[in-house]
Structure 1
Amino acid sequence: MAPPTTTSSRREEAVATPARVGGPLAVVAAAVALVVTIVVAISLGRYTVPVSHVVQILASVLLPDGGVGETERTVVELIRLPRVLLAVLVGGGLAIAGAALQATFRNPLVSPDIIGVSAGASLGGSLALLLGLGTIFLVGGAFVFGLVAIGLLFALTLGRSSSMLMVVLGGVVLGSFFAALVGLVQYFADPYSSLPAIVFWLLGSLATATWAKVGVAAVPILLGTAVMLLLRWRINVLSLGDDEASSLGLRPGRMRWTILLSCALIVAGAVAVSGVVGWVGLVIPHLARMWVGPDHRILLPVSFLVGATYLIVIDTIARTLTAGEVPLGVLTALVGAPVFFLLLRRNRDRIWDHA
């Protein structure tokens, strides 16, 4: 019979134990899969571009032009490449934010959607669209209200009586509250101008991707991601609890707020350019954890790469499945909701035991 896990052994596991065998190779494999997915996704669509031509166009910055037609070059450089890069930023950012939040709350069911951050950010963006403000205000509003949402959850659930169940329930309540406010914004919106823009934006889509939007999303998402990656060892320690983190010389409160601010920054950037794309931050960290284990030194970069690959695949399906375009948020929910249900069934006993 295996000896029980002690606090000391858990501390050693988080701090000293290396990543699961093949962890660094998993990062390389995920990166290669992402590059292949990018090339294939760019080639697919109503106007098919051969993969070899896609490679030539992407490599034309360094290599001589291989005689690719101008139409193909326009489709790749101005239409599909910005959209694919936007999917990389949004999918990867939401996935790494979800992985970090699950460690911060020590709750495997936490994600930017479940804890209400996406709903708060969508309220800020909806207000900006209602008032006819520009992209800067759209990103700023999404960030501020995303930060308000995560701050409220932090204040409500991280007290002395906090539990995994309270985190999930608190996030559901906050998400419902902000969703009601979004509905109120839609009620007051002009049905001929701002209302269609708000509804289309909230459904989630990358159809309006441009190089300008890639730049808008890249700044907050890459900044938040960089902070996560720099703190990945400390996230291992924080996942053990405040007492253990303090004994190892960390300041849990400051550390937690740094992570939460980074998550709010990522979600704000993602929501501002793509609308609400749900479930990515819940599903992908679990898939990555099943592959490489719980060590966040490997889990966080793998989550980003897998999340980026996943959203590229979903977006490619969204724009090629029918003659129209299926909203991106609808497809991610169709995949994520059943997975979340299975996770609830798998973890229900442990959740209620700690409630």
Structure 2
Amino acid sequence: MTPPAPSSIPATRPTAGRGDDGVSAPVVPAPVSNRRRAVLLVVTAALVLVVAVVSITVGAYVIPVGDVLKVLAAKTGLTDSTNSLNASVVWDMRLTRVLLAGAVGAALACSGAAYQGTFRNPLVEPFILGVSAGAACGAGLAVMVDVPLSMQVMAFIFGMLAVWLTYTLSRVRGERPTVTLILAGVVVGSFFSAVFSLFQYAGTDEQLRRLVFWVMGGFYRATWNDVAVVVPATVIGCLLLWRFGWRLNVLSLGDDEARSLGVDPEPLRRWVIVLATALTALAVSVSGIIAWVGLLVPHAARMMVGPDHRFVIPLSATLGAVFVMACDVLARTIHTGEVPISIITSILGAPYLVYLLRTRATHLGASS
């Protein structure tokens, strides 16, 4: 059967009414027009650039926007010279971490949107299959044993290994229901978390310090080598997940309905999980574990453009980049030392989750 065109897939949404107990059901917002969705994407993409420029200018050493532009022009060959101190701060310190923060935010948020669409559950987030615990274990092993591979490489390898183990365990009985896959992720994540705790217990003071700072997240280690790998990979990964957007819309109708429309659910889930996991593992490997981004940002995107994954995924990427870059600015400016970024994201994310829980009948119910 030939799959239907994306535009021919009906969009369904709950309607307002009165429940059996006589209490009025919450009103679900009207569908958002594609024109408004496109405008939101353009606005948030422009906001990414604005926040990136502001992020470069602020810090312990404030650099005016004009001087930042002069440095960028000099580094790209448009002008001959610039202030050496400004050039060092902008090019070697701030630009790398701003680009990396934007890429990591986009990767985590985009992966979260893909996971939520795949599992048809708005409370799913990228770390649910054990990738964060596996990455932490790999980074811990690199610190403890002093293996030839870097912390980033070991974190990526073990993050992917954790999800492979999760997927393998879920196939023990020849089936892969969503509940079994999630439970397998809990088991694998608990195992790797226990191993990481053992590393913390057995490590020296210096090793413990490195492990704690890594697991709490941050971009103080950002280098141009990291940027050269993570930014292109994030762009490619997000584009590939976006290509699956209309299929995720079909999958939200249920497996049987998806098959009747020409979409095989199992290969689709497998590909989306692999892509989203690779993006998450790559992000975690260079930044440590940054909480809440993959859970909350897709919700914000869905509330703005509705449940259509063709728009939710790219909007999640732009909002995630803005959110993490802004949190990174706070992490390095609110205190004389650098605050781990997961503390900032948790402080900002927890109240938002409370808001979502209070309005879940409208927003969570409409998106599931």
Sort the Cα spacing of 1:297 and 1:157 in 2 relative to 1 into closer, same or farther, 3 A. farther
User: Is the partner of 1:45 in helix, strand or coil?
Assistant: coil
Name the residue aligned to 1:82. Answer: 96
Structure number with the higher helix fraction is 1
Please tell me whether residue 212 in structure 1 is matched to residue 228 in structure 2.
no
Name the residue aligned to 1:179. Answer: 193
Name the residue aligned to 2:248. Answer: 235
Of 163, 181, 204, which residue of structure 2 is paired with 1:147?
163
Name the residue aligned to 1:13. Answer: 11
Q: Deviations over 1:31-79 (max 9, x none)?
A: 1000000001100011111012212333446673286312111111111
Cα distance, 1:99 vs structure 2 = 0.4
RMSD of Structure 2 on Structure 1 (CA): 3.2
Name the residue aligned to 1:221. Answer: 234
The 8 Å contact of residues 122 and 364 in structure 2, kept in 1 or not, is answered as no
| Alpha-carbon distance in 1 for matches of 2:109, 2:358 | 22
Letter in 2 for 1:277: I
| Alpha-carbon distance in 1 for matches of 2:226, 2:248 | 30
Of 135, 139, 143, which residue of structure 2 is paired with 1:121?
135
The 8 Å contact of residues 163 and 185 in structure 2, kept in 1 or not, is answered as no
Please tell me whether residue 95 in structure 1 is matched to residue 93 in structure 2.
no
Of residues 133-142 and 85-94 in structure 1, the stretch that sits farther from structure 2 once superposed is 133-142
Cα distance, 1:342 vs structure 2 = 3.7
Name the residue aligned to 2:42. Answer: 28
Structure 1: tracts of 5 or more residues without a match: 1-9
The 8 Å contact of residues 156 and 284 in structure 2, kept in 1 or not, is answered as no
Structure 2: tracts of 5 or more residues without a match: 1-7, 13-30
Letter in 2 for 1:208: R
Cα distance, 1:151 vs structure 2 = 2.0
Q: Deviations over 1:211-237 (max 9, x none)?
A: 112224235433432320222222221
Q: Deviations over 1:58-111 (max 9, x none)?
A: 344667328631211111111100000000111000000000100000001110
| Alpha-carbon distance in 1 for matches of 2:364, 2:228 | 41
Name the residue aligned to 1:5. Answer: none
User: Is the partner of 1:181 in helix, strand or coil?
Assistant: helix
Cα distance, 1:210 vs structure 2 = 0.9
Matched-pair identity in %? 38
The 8 Å contact of residues 19 and 293 in structure 1, kept in 2 or not, is answered as no
The 8 Å contact of residues 20 and 293 in structure 1, kept in 2 or not, is answered as no
Cα distance, 1:20 vs structure 2 = 4.1
What are the residue-to-residue correspondences of 1:1-355 with 2, within 5 Å?
11-13=9-11, 20-60=34-74, 64-65=78-79, 68-133=82-147, 134-135=149-150, 137-148=153-164, 150-151=166-167, 174-189=188-203, 191-218=204-231, 220-347=233-360
Letter in 1 for 2:51: T
Structure 2-normalised TM-score?
Answer: 0.81
Sort the Cα spacing of 1:150 and 1:104 in 2 relative to 1 into closer, same or farther, 3 A. farther
Structure 1-normalised TM-score?
Answer: 0.84
Sort the Cα spacing of 1:295 and 1:127 in 2 relative to 1 into closer, same or farther, 3 A. same
The 8 Å contact of residues 38 and 312 in structure 1, kept in 2 or not, is answered as yes
Cα distance, 1:242 vs structure 2 = 1.4
Of residues 309-318 and 294-303 in structure 1, the stretch that sits farther from structure 2 once superposed is 294-303
Name the residue aligned to 1:3. Answer: none
